[in-house]
């Protein structure tokens, strides 16, 4: 049994041990708390050096010219614009003002007043003065543009700006008859003032020197008859002019089986090749020349010895054309357009419808010396009837030819002489054909499905002409944005109201651009701020002649009054009051 005293002593010793133990633990924990931050600091790694931040690049978001969004080019642009250019971040406003510029012809800076919107992310400016009408500018947005924090513009932009025409009238208003006289006279002056001094044939175009054109000369003869009838020149003046021309055609000019080349040298009469293999006869161009000559034969119909001589020379030229040769000497039911003294029928281009060549088949059937058989017309030209169209465009039925009618010269060239009023054959009513063709062209330009700059109900007319890139046969299916004045003006017989709108717009509104020495220039393109400086015989002539046919039917009456022409048309089963 344990001694009570000893038991008490043991309990006291145990208590002291516990107290000492707790004291040691408390001391150790305090020391740990004291040393831990130092230990942690000693164990921590040095931080990585921080890289400088690179400002984000900025993007061009949108451009507005007044209320119009601009993408790459702005055509027909207003000359008093407010320009808004929006970016993806706030701009350094000073850099933006110093560098964003409109430049005339891409060179001369235009002064403008600048402000900023949308927390400086949109620059807004307006030129201090209106821009020039019908001019070229560049809106330059360089890549030196920066954001507030130094972000660079990702890529520069150069926006092309093409301004509209000046809407103010350029000339005082005059009576329509007076305006039409003026247009006819100035257009005729091309053939009178600029005729070749030796041959008196029409030069191909302004600046063509020795190069004269057979077909364009035929148009010029018909224009000259109109000029005499309107007292622009005298009958005797034009008679002498014609005698010089027919003498050259009969005695000097190169011919091939009676047909003339497209181009000749106006002094020597030698062929100027139109293309490498087109170095001989051009039967279609010869047709236009003969159409003009036969019209002159009917016009100069008095017993005056000079007029008798002229008629005899015209007959000689007319009777010499061997139309049958151009069916490969009677072996085919096709007329062929070209014949080369080197390569024969190497171009191998049959004259088939529908296009500008109806006159060629009428004359080939009408020839009193070398006519072709009727199958050449029906099987060759008309393709046994497959030249018919019959579809409807803009609510207008098109009897013949390609969809939308093709270029408007199809309804002009042959019909300078052939009167389409009440004219029909096995294939079409020709008044309907030409009227609807013209109206389809008008409606197409008014509708403007390709959004060409400037097109509207007074700016219309697509046909073959010069353009900013060369020369082309413009039409609704080949629309390059080019308007050719001869298209609407030569359509006067078919579309008098629509053609009057075009005439007045071309003259009064765009006269500062279009109205020059020989009437209206060949063509213009608002979208390219371009107007031709050229005049072409095949475009000036139809203006004079078709306006005259609209006013008096003079050339229609003369040409279709010719006995040979009437006989040829009857052979082909044409029906018209003037053929009875």
Q: Read off the pLDDT of residues 122-173 as tens digits, 9 standing for 90 and up.
A: 999 999 999 999 999 999 999 999 999 999 999 999 999 999 999 999 999 9
SS3 of residue 377 by DSSP: helix
What's the rounded Cα separation, in Å, for the pair 65 and 320?
64
Query: Can you tell me the mean pLDDT for 527-552?
Result: 98
pLDDT value at residue 46: 54
Q: Are 202 and 195 in contact (CB under 8 A)?
A: yes
Quick one: what percent of the chain has pLDDT higher than 70? Answer: 91
Residue 168 CB coordination number (10 Å): 9
Q: Phi/psi of residue 179, each to 5°? A: -65, -40
Enumerate domains of the chain plus CATH numbers.
60-163 (2.60.40.3710), 176-579 (1.50.10.140)
Query: Can you tell me the mean pLDDT for 28-56?
Result: 50
Hunting for tokens 């003002």 — which residue is that?
97
Nearest CA among 354, 219, 346 for reference residue 275: 346
Query: Can you tell me the mean pLDDT for 292-314?
Result: 98
| pLDDT above 80 (res 33) | no
Joined tokens for residue 361: 């088949």
Residue 162 CB coordination number (10 Å): 20
Joined tokens for residue 355: 């296009």
| pLDDT above 50 (res 187) | yes
pLDDT value at residue 49: 59
Residues contacting 229, CB < 8 A, separation 6+? 548, 552, 554
pLDDT value at residue 419: 98
pLDDT value at residue 382: 98
- Give the pTM: 0.89
pLDDT value at residue 54: 81
What's the rounded Cα separation, in Å, for the pair 371 and 561?
19
pLDDT-based confidence at 75, cuts 50/70/90? Answer: very high
């Amino acid at each position: 049994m344990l001694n009570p005293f000893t038991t008490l002593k043991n309990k006291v010793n145990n208590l002291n041990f516990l107290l000492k133990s707790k004291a040691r633990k408390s001391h150790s924990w305090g020391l740990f708390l004291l040393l831990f931050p130092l230990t942690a600091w000693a164990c921590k790694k040095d931080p990585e050096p921080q890289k400088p931040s690179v400002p984000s690049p900025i993007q061009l978001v949108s451009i507005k010219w007044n209320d119009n969004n601009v993408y790459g080019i702005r055509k027909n642009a207003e000359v008093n614009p407010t320009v808004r250019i929006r970016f993806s971040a706030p701009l350094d406003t000073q850099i933006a003002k110093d560098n964003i510029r409109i430049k005339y012809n891409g060179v001369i800076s235009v002064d403008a007043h600048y402000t900023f919107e949308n927390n400086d992310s949109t620059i807004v400016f307006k030129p201090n003065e209106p821009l020039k009408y019908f001019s070229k500018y560049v809106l330059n947005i360089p890549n030196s543009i920066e954001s507030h924090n130094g972000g660079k513009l990702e890529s520069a932009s150069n926006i092309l700006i093409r301004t509209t025409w000046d809407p103010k009238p350029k000339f005082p208003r005059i009576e329509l008859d007076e305006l039409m006289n003026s247009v006819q006279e100035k257009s005729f002056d091309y053939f009178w003032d600029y005729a070749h001094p030796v041959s008196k044939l029409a030069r191909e175009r302004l600046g063509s020197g020795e190069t004269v054109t057979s077909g364009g000369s035929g148009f010029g003869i018909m224009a000259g008859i109109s000029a005499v009838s309107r007292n622009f020149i005298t009958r005797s003046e034009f008679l002498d002019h014609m005698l010089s021309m027919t003498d050259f055609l009969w005695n000097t000019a190169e011919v091939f089986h009676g047909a003339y080349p497209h181009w000749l040298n106006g002094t020597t009469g030698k062929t100027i090749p139109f293309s490498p293999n087109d170095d001989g006869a051009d039967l279609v161009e010869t047709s236009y020349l003969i159409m003009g000559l036969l019209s002159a034969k009917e016009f100069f119909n008095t017993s005056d010895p000079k007029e008798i001589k002229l008629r005899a020379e015209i007959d000689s030229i007319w009777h010499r054309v061997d139309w049958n040769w151009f069916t490969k000497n009677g072996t085919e039911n096709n007329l062929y357009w070209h014949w080369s003294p080197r390569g024969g029928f190497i171009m191998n281009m049959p004259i088939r419808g529908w296009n500008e060549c109806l006159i060629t088949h009428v004359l080939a059937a009408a020839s009193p010396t070398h006519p072709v058989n009727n199958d050449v017309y029906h099987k060759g030209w008309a393709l046994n009837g497959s030249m018919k169209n019959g579809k409807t465009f803009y609510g207008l039925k098109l009897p013949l030819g390609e969809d939308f009618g093709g270029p408007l010269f199809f309804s002009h060239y042959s019909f300078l002489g052939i009167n389409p009023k009440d004219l029909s054959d096995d294939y079409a009513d020709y008044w309907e054909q030409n009227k609807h063709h013209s109206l389809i062209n008008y409606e197409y330009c008014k509708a403007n499905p390709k959004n060409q700059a400037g097109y509207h109900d007074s700016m219309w007319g697509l046909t073959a002409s010069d353009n900013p890139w060369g020369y082309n046969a413009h039409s609704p299916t080949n629309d390059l944005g080019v308007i050719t004045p001869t298209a609407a003006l030569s359509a006067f017989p078919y579309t008098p109201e629509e053609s009057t709108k075009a005439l007045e717009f071309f003259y009064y509104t765009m006269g500062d651009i279009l109205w020059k020495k020989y009437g209206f220039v060949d063509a213009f393109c608002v979208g390219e701020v371009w107007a031709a400086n050229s005049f072409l015989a095949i475009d000036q002539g139809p203006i004079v002649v078709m306006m005259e046919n609209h006013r008096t039917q003079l050339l229609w009456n003369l040409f279709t009054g010719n006995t040979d022409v009437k006989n040829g048309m009857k052979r082909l089963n044409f029906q018209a009051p003037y053929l009875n």
